[in-house]
Chains A and B, each alone.
Chain A
Amino acid sequence: MKIGAYVCKGCGIEERLDTVQLASVAKRDGKAAIAKEHEFLCNADGVAMIQNDIDNEGVNRVVIVGCSRRAKTEAFSFEGVAITRANIREGVIWVRPDTDEAQETTQEMADDYVRMGCAEAKHMKIPDASGEQSLNRHILVVGGGVAGMTAAIEAAKAGYKVDLVEKSGQLGGVLGQLYKRVPAKNGLQGPVDTNVEQLVHTVEALSDITVHLNTTVAKTEGAPGRFAVELATESGSTSEVTVGAIIQATGFTPYDINKLPELGGGKSPDVVDQLAFEALAKGAAGGAIKRPSDGKEVKNVVFIQCAGQRSDQKGHLPYCSGHCCTTSIKQAMYVKEAGGDATVLFDDLRTPGAVGEDFYRAGQERGVTFSKGKVSEVQANGSLKVNFTDLILGEETAAEADMVVLATGMVPNSGPDPYAQLELEQAKADGNTDRVATLEASLADAPASILNLDYRQGTDVPHLKHGFTDSHFICFPYETRRTGIYTAGPVRRPMDIGQATEDAVGAALKAIQACENAALGQAAHPRSGDLSFPKFRKEGCTQCKRCTVECPFGAINEDEQRYPQFNESRCRRCGTCMGACPVRVISFDNYSVDTVGQQLKAVDIPDEFSEKPRLLILACENDAYPALDMAGMTHQEISAFARIIPVRCLGSVNTIWVTDALNSGYDGVVLMGCQKGDNYQCHFVKGSEMAHYRMSKIDDTLSQLNLEKERVQTFEVSITDIQRIPKIINDMETLIGEIGMSPFKF
Chain B
Amino acid sequence: MSDVIATNQTILVVGGGISGLTAAIEAAECGKQVILVEKSPTVGGRVGQLYKYFPKLCFPTCGLEIQYRRLKANKNIRLLTMAEVTSVTGESGNYNVDIKLSPRYVNENCTACGACAEAVEAEFDDEHNYGMKKRKGAYLVSHMAYPQRYVIDPRIIGTPDADKAREACKVGAVDTEMQEQNLKLQVGAVVWATGWTPYDAAKIQPYGYDRFDNVITNVEFERMLDPFGPTGGRVVRPSDGQAPKNVAFIQCAGSRDHNHLKHCSRICCMASLKQTTYLREQFGDEAKSTVYYIDIRAIDRIDDFHQKVKQDPNVTFVKSKVANIVENKANGNLVLNGVDTEGYNRYANEHDLVVLAVGMESNVPAGVLPEGTVINEHNFIELDEANGAIFGAGCSSDALDVNRAAQNATASALRAIQVVNRVAGLEG
Contact = CB atoms under 8 A, between A and B. Distances in A.
Q: Do chains A and B touch in the complex (CB under 8 A)?
A: yes
A67 B111 contact: yes
Nearest to A494: B300
A679 B277 CA distance: 16
A597 to B, nearest CB: 25
Contact of A528 (B73, B109, B170, B300): B73
Interface in B13-50: 18, 22, 25-27, 29-31
B171 interface: yes
Nearest to A503: B407
A626 B148 CA distance: 13
A391 B263 CA distance: 25
Given A506-B407, A517-B29, A718-B59, A528 B74 contact: yes
Given A159-B425, A354-B263, A494-B300, A722 B398 contact: no
Interface in A168-225: 184-187
Contact of A493 (B61, B67, B301): B301
B418 A157 contact: yes
Q: Is the interface of A mostly helix, strand, loop or mixed?
A: loop
Interface string A473-502: 111111000000000000001110001001
Interface in B291-310: 295-301, 303-304, 307
A42 B411 contact: no
Contacts of A73: 72-73
Interface string B90-121: 00000000000000000011011110000000
Interface stretch (B214-222, B325-333, B341-349): B341-349
Contacts of B63: 473-476
A701 interface: no
Interface in A91-129: none
B404 A348 contact: no
A450 to B, nearest CB: 20
Interface in B123-151: 143-144, 148
B143 A320 contact: no
| A372, A623, A720, most chain B CB atoms within 10 A | A720
Nearest to B303: A320
A428 interface: no
B26 A475 contact: no
Interface stretch (A256-264, A464-472, A540-548): A464-472
A453 B70 CA distance: 30
B415 interface: yes
B421 A353 contact: no
Interface residues of A, number: 88
Given A353-B398, A356-B264, A509-B410, A310 B303 contact: yes
A158 B300 contact: no
A352 B402 contact: no
B263 A499 contact: no
B382 A186 contact: yes
A710 interface: no
Of B74, B303, B382, B402, most A-chain CB atoms within 10 Å: B303
Contacts of A465: 301, 304
A357 B415 CA distance: 27
Given A352-B297, A353-B399, A626 B383 contact: no
A394 B342 contact: yes
Given A357-B262, A722-B228, A505 B411 contact: yes
Interface in A317-368: 318-322, 348-358
A184 B385 CA distance: 14
Contact of B61 (A372, A466, A674, A720): A720
Given A319-B304, A509-B26, A516-B31, 10 more contacts: A187-B376, A348-B295, A354-B376, A392-B344, A474-B56, A477-B404, A478-B410, A508-B414, A509-B414, A622-B65
24 contacts: A40-B111, A43-B109, A158-B417, A352-B299, A352-B399, A353-B263, A392-B342, A394-B344, A466-B301, A475-B18, A475-B403, A475-B406, A502-B407, A502-B408, A506-B410, A506-B411, A506-B414, A509-B411, A513-B26, A525-B29, A526-B66, A622-B65, A633-B112, A679-B58
